[in-house]
Amino acid sequence: MNEIKNYILSRFTGILKPPVKNLKYPFIVPGTGYLTELWSWDAYWEALALKRSFEIFGEEEMTRAGVSRNTACAHMQGSVLDFLDAQEKDGFIPIMVSAGGLFEGFFKKEYDKGTPLNQCLPFLCQFALLVGNFTGGYDWFDAEKLVKYMRYFEEKQYDKSSGLFFWQDDIMIGIDNNPTVFYRPHKSGADVYLNSFIYLEYISLAEIFEKLNDKRAAETRAKAEKLKVAINAEMWDERDGIYYSQDINFYKTERIVKGVALHSGLDPHWKTMPLKIRFWGCFLPMYAGICSAEQAERMCAHLTENDDIFAEYGVRTLAKNEKMYSLAKSAGNPSNWLGAIWTIANYCVYKGLVRYGKAELAERVQAATLKLLNKNLKESGELYESYHPDTGEPFMHPGFLSHNLPVTDMLK
């Protein structure tokens, strides 16, 4: 564990960047090779790791590593503020903000053209709460901007029939080629990953309101509960004992024969169609606290009964008996989430197991993760974006830190 700890401490300063151009506040980048790009869920996981590092390693050791509490606060707060600063009047916030490179100005131009876009991945409320808890203050950001950001989800990415949220398309959804969204029709993917984290956004916004003595806390918690009910009603598969993403893109064919409208006598009573594909996101209702103890017990069986999901080095991002399973190395975008080990997937499953008291299985995931990262540090001196589930071979991007950093929480 010392190798992982030392590696993390030695790399923290490299992800902290000063203001530049439209990024007006200090911000956090995903790792080596990133200079002026702020990515939403990457920065969130890194901020989480920074906070936990101060708690686990102590302020003195963090300061020796070149990261004082004030420096950490400035970059954590700044990352949130840079996103809020990019917000449009209708509440839309882009998935990432760049002051240079390929994506500089891209999302603004697409938005101005009226292109339907996925907005910022659902982590900003959690991010603001995380930083507020770290700094002890909640007056450094405008909570109304978070309200508008959530309202945009409700107006542009919400299906009233099922009560679930959906992706506009498959661009930059975080899990790049998640088969329940990737290459599928626009506005069809009610993804379990998206809905689990939007649930946590509502919970976090409610907690922010409570910190601010804002009466909207109860209303926001009610929205979270409503979404939780919808997730359990539409995404939980009682037969298989796991949550699945859902297809919400229904289409009615209109045909009239001699005045008789076909397919008009009995409309479908179902609101969604299950996409029965087991990927790591199916376990996120445990991370988010959405499922019951009985549901959690049944989901654990998917990790223990065979090796199709749980591998030598942790949780396959896609079960190996799914037809889309592939360990091919991507030539660029998208990054491959079709079975490779991503440390963030291990971490989220681990935290879900801890939440539901599954200590023995949580320790197995923890041990597999630490074994994987120690192996790569010993053999190459680097951490990577993803890894082979059975051999631990690194796949891409040496020095990629963001999704690896939450392993800090496993070192305690």
CA dihedral (121, 122, 127, 128) positive or negative:
positive
Over residues 23-33, mean pLDDT = 93
- Taking the domains of the chain in order of start, what are their residue ranges? 1-122, 302-412
Q: Which of 129, 248, 152, 245 is nearest to 195 (CA)?
A: 245
Q: What is the distance between the alpha carbons of residues 253 and 270, in angstroms, rounded to a whole number?
A: 17
Q: Render pLDDT for 144-199 as a digit per residue (tens, 0 to 9).
A: 999 999 999 999 999 999 999 999 999 999 999 999 999 999 999 999 999 999 99
Q: How confident is the model at residue 32 (pLDDT cuts 50, 70, 90)?
A: confident
> Could you tell me the pLDDT band of residue 35, with boundaries at 50, 70 and 90?
confident
CA distance 232 to 163: 11
Average pLDDT over residues 350-374: 98
235 or 31, which is more confident: 235
Give the pLDDT score at 265.
82
The rounded mean pLDDT for the chain is 96
Burial 207-241 (b: 16+ CB within 10 A, else e): bbbebeebeebeebbebbeebbebbeebbbeeeee
- In this prediction, residues 301-319 reach a mean pLDDT of 96
Residue 2 has pLDDT above 70, yes or no: yes
| C-beta of residue 69 within 8 angstroms of C-beta of residue 62 | yes
Query: What pLDDT score does 264 carry?
Result: 83
Between CA 316 and CA 33 the distance in angstroms is 26
The model carries a pTM of: 0.96
* Tokens at 332, concatenated: 């660029």
The pLDDT, as a whole number, for residue 1 is 63
Q: Can you read off the two tokens belonging to residue 298?
A: 């049944």
Task: Give tens-digit pLDDT for 317-327.
Answer: 999 999 999 99
Percent of the chain whose pLDDT exceeds 70:
100
Residue 250 has pLDDT above 90, yes or no: no
Task: Record the tokens describing residue 193, joined without a space.
Answer: 């990953």
The mean pLDDT value for 40-68 works out to: 96
